[in-house]
Every structure is written in C-alpha cells, then in structure tokens.
A and B are shown apart, each in its own frame.
Chain A
Amino acid sequence: MGEVIRPKRTAATMGSILAAWTGICIVVGAYGSMSLPIGGYVSGFWPAMALQAIGGIWFGMWGVIVAFLFPIISDAIGEAIPMYVAATLIPANFFQAWTVAWVFRRFKLNPELKTRKDWLAWILVGCILQNAIGATLGTTAFVLWGLFTWEAQPLFWAGWFIGNTWPAIVFGSLILKIATPFVKRTRVYVFPDWW
C-alpha cells in the first residue's frame, strides 16, 4: 500500500514536455538575461539555470536535452549570442543539467529535498559545482570564438557563475520544494529513471 502507480510514459507526453520545457526555458532565459547583463554575452541573473537543473532531475535525459537545446534560441534573444556560438556552449549547458541529475540518481536522493543530504547535494552540486563547470567550459568557448580575451575570462567567468548560482539556490530550491510533490504525480515525472 502507499505505492504510487503512474501511467506509462509515452512519446506524446514526453515529447510535449520536451517542447514545453524548452519553451519556458527560452522565455525565462531571455527575460532573465535581459534584466541583468554583465557587459554582454553573460548575464548576472539567469533564472533559466534553476529550470535547467530541475529539468534534469525531474525529466531525466529529456530535461538534459532541453538544457542544451534551449540556449541556442534564448541566448540569441537575450544575450545576443549567435546560434553558432550558442551551439558551442552545448557541453557547458549539458553539464549544468546532467551533473546534479546523475548525483540524485546515483545516490538515491529525494528531489523534494527532505533530508540534509538532499539539500547538500542540491546546493553543492546542483547550484555550485555544475555552474563552475559550465562557467569554465562556456567562457572558454567565448574566448576561443574571440568574443573576449583570456585576460577578461575571469570577469566573465565570475559573471556566469554568480548569475547562474544564486537564481539556482533561490528559485531552484523553492521550485523543487514546492512543485516536486505535484509533479511526481504526473506522467512526465521520470525520476529515478533516465528516460
């Protein structure tokens, strides 16, 4: 008793969540980037990061795919990063969603953030570590594109890292805590599976 039985996942529902999550991430990514840019290309406030990380936890690989697809469009609208440059940010955006999704699955943590272990993993990996990886890969791609110099990289790295980390801590924690009990009753909730 007490076992939650969910209807079988289908391509229609998972495809819809893939499309809808991409849509919301583009809108939130564009609005966020526009509200606090750090000298262009990097935003000091990127709330889409919260959705990127949560998407990986809730929707598994569907969320991870969204995480690296949506910035190709939202970066063009919100941060003036052409699609070609945004495509080279795929590794950065991949790790910004996959890392915490893997940790939550590997260590059987609860996305509702019920224990201290859940919170620690979310804050240390979901908010800090994966953004540090993302900021390093992303700003390196910018330097290789010639958008700014190696000397300017630490400034942009800090902009990326801070701009992603604090919305993840504030909004990501809030959404995970409030919305996970609701989302886990739906067909689109993939955790603890990957697909």
Chain B
Amino acid sequence: MTTQQVVTRYRTFFSYVDATSLANKVSPITKIFILLFFNAYPIIIDNPIYNAMFGFLNIILMKIFKATLMHVEKYFKVLMTLALFIFVSVIFFGRSVAGPTPTVIATIGPVEVYSQALGFGVMVYVRMFALVSAMLLWLSITTTSDLMSAFEKLKISYVARTYLTMAFRFIGMFDSDFNTIQDAQKARGLDIKSQPLWRRPFVFGYYLIPLVAITIKKAIDAGTTMEARAFKAPLKIKLLEEKKGFKQSYVGKYYWRYSGKDTVIIALLVIVFVGLIIARIYGLVANPFM
C-alpha cells in the first residue's frame, strides 16, 4: 500500500494554491498593489523584449506561488491563435498602423507588407501576452477573503465589497460551467474545437444560452441564500463605509495579514513604477522594431 500525501489547497478566483504557498503570506493590500502595478507595466513599456520578460516572470511566479496551472493553461493556448490573427491583420491592413513613412519589406500580390506594421504587431502581441499572464497570475493567487479584507481596509462599504468579491468569485464558477457545457455539448455531438475557425462564432450560441440560464438561476439561489443568512441592505448602494458605526468583520479580522516584507514589496513596486515612467519619458522603453 502506498501512502498518499494530502495537500491542503485554497480556492482562488481562477485556480487553487497550496496552503504552504508564499501567496498566502502576502498581504491582501500588497496583492491590490500588485494588480495595479502589473496592469500599468505593459502599457508603459513598448519594447516587446521587456514585455516578454515580464510575461515569463509572471509564469515563473505562478510556479513559485504553487498555483495550479491546469485551470489557466487554456488561456495561454489561445495566445497561439491570437498570434495568427494579429499578424494576418497587420499584413493585410498594415498601412493604417505603419505611420507616415512606411518601409515596404515584401509584396504579396497587391498587398504591401510594412516593417513598421509588423513591429506594431509584435508590440501588441507581446503586450497582450504580458498583460494576460499578469492578470492570470493575480486571479490565480487571490482568494475571495483576500479581496474582501483588502476592500475592508480601503473602507469600501460592506455591500459594495460583497457584490464585488462575489463578481470575482463568479468568474471562476462560470468558467467551470462553460467547460461543463462544452463537455455536455460534446456528448451530444457538438465539439466547437472540431469546427472550422469561421464557424466557431456561429455555434457559440449553443454554449451561451445554457450559460445565461445557469447564471440567472445561480444569482437567484445566491440572493435567496443571502436573505436566509440575514443579509439586509438598501437597494441604493453606498460605495464607501460610513465612519460611525464601523465594525470590523470576521473576514477583516482573521484573514488580514501584513508584515515588514509587504512594506518592502510595496515600496519596490512604487520605485519601479516611478523608474519606468522616467524611462518612458526618456524613450528608453520604446519599441525598437518600429
């Protein structure tokens, strides 16, 4: 008989992380700073090399944080299809993105291919990879309680933070439901992946309609459950918590963590952000391929 090791995992918005993961030691507020910085990086940087390095860093961080990659793999696979579309677009419609003085590097029948357009395509594609990997990293290491406690510290009202965290939680749920619907349709003989690319959008309706029905049913069930647990609020949502009568919640008390390391991470993120802005002003992060 072999002994099996049981590993405790936490459900994040998009994946699972091991209980021993470093992600569970990072403060929820640091995760908010990571989200803000990681969203800013690809837009500040035009150089595809720096964006590619950033994208790979995110994948390495997913490994370090012991996030289950199985749930996010499909998004990376889609990036291959994206490459095809982006490069077809910049080859055939490249003139409008090639700038005032384009350089023709090839001619395909009546179509002229411009080096600046290809440079634009590379920049867009790698920026896409960097940002998608950053978002997937964040969604893979952040839990509902992380976001709830961070919002509580930011004085977001109880009602607003409940709705916001529920919305994030529903992403993972509907992502799973979408896969279940795909399997169910496959059992009925419809496999979207076996369809030619041009037909895929047309058969999307067979997935969309069941997903809409599931969404409404789940929303009503969730609302009824909340009512059963005495959730009461006015229909008019207040975004910020009122100072008087503020009470720390259970989640805010027991899931909140912050250490000196978080201060270091936040300070580093701020310094790098300022550095990148300065580098952009001096043209140090421009796209060398355009």
Contact = CB atoms under 8 A, between A and B. Distances in A.
Interface of A: 9-24, 26-28, 30-32, 34-41, 45, 47, 50-51, 69-70, 73, 76-77, 79-85, 145, 148-149, 151-152, 154-155, 167, 170-171, 174-175, 178-179, 182-183, 186-188, 195
A27 B174 contact: yes
Contact of B200 (A12, A35, A41): A35
Q: How large is the interface on B (under 10, 10 to 19, 20 to 34, 35 or more residues)?
A: 35 or more
Which 8 A/B pairs are nearest by Cβ-Cβ distance? Answer: A23-B170, A13-B223, A80-B128, A40-B124, A19-B166, A39-B89, A20-B219, A16-B223
B39 A22 contact: no
B132 interface: yes
A181 to B, nearest CB: 12
Given A155-B96, A186-B220, A179 B209 contact: yes
B223 A187 contact: yes
B231 A11 contact: yes
B97 interface: yes
B29 to A, nearest CB: 17
Contact of A24 (B42, B135, B163, B170): B170
Contacts of B36: 83
A15 B162 contact: yes
A129 B202 CA distance: 23
Given A20-B222, A28-B211, A47-B208, A15 B166 contact: yes
A176 to B, nearest CB: 11
Interface of B: 35-36, 39-40, 42-43, 75, 78, 81-82, 85-86, 89-90, 93, 96-97, 99, 121, 124-125, 127-132, 135-136, 139, 159, 162-164, 166-171, 173-175, 178, 200-202, 204-205, 208-209, 211-213, 215-216, 218-220, 222-224, 226-227, 231-235, 237
A39 B99 contact: no
B200 A19 contact: no
Contact of A10 (B124, B223, B237): B223
Nearest to B14: A77
B121 A20 contact: no
Contacts of B170: 19-20, 22-24
A155 B131 CA distance: 23
A78 B178 CA distance: 16
Given A23-B174, A76-B39, A171-B208, A149 B99 contact: yes
Nearest to B88: A39
B43 to A, nearest CB: 5
Contacts of A23: 167-171, 173-174, 215
B93 A16 contact: no
A11 B219 contact: no
7 contacts: A11-B234, A37-B86, A80-B130, A148-B97, A149-B96, A179-B216, A195-B235
A188 B235 contact: no
A193 to B, nearest CB: 11
Contacts of B171: 23, 26-27, 73
A39 B86 contact: yes
Contacts of A21: 215, 219
Nearest to B99: A149
A45 B219 contact: no
Contacts of B121: 39-40
B136 A16 contact: no
Given A23-B167, A23-B215, A80 B131 contact: yes
Contacts of A22: 167, 170
B128 A77 contact: no
Nearest to A40: B124
Given A11-B235, A16-B222, A82 B124 contact: no
B40 A82 contact: yes
A36 B86 CA distance: 9
A51 B135 CA distance: 23
B95 to A, nearest CB: 8
Contacts of B81: 34-35
Contacts of A47: 201, 204, 208
Contacts of B85: 36-39
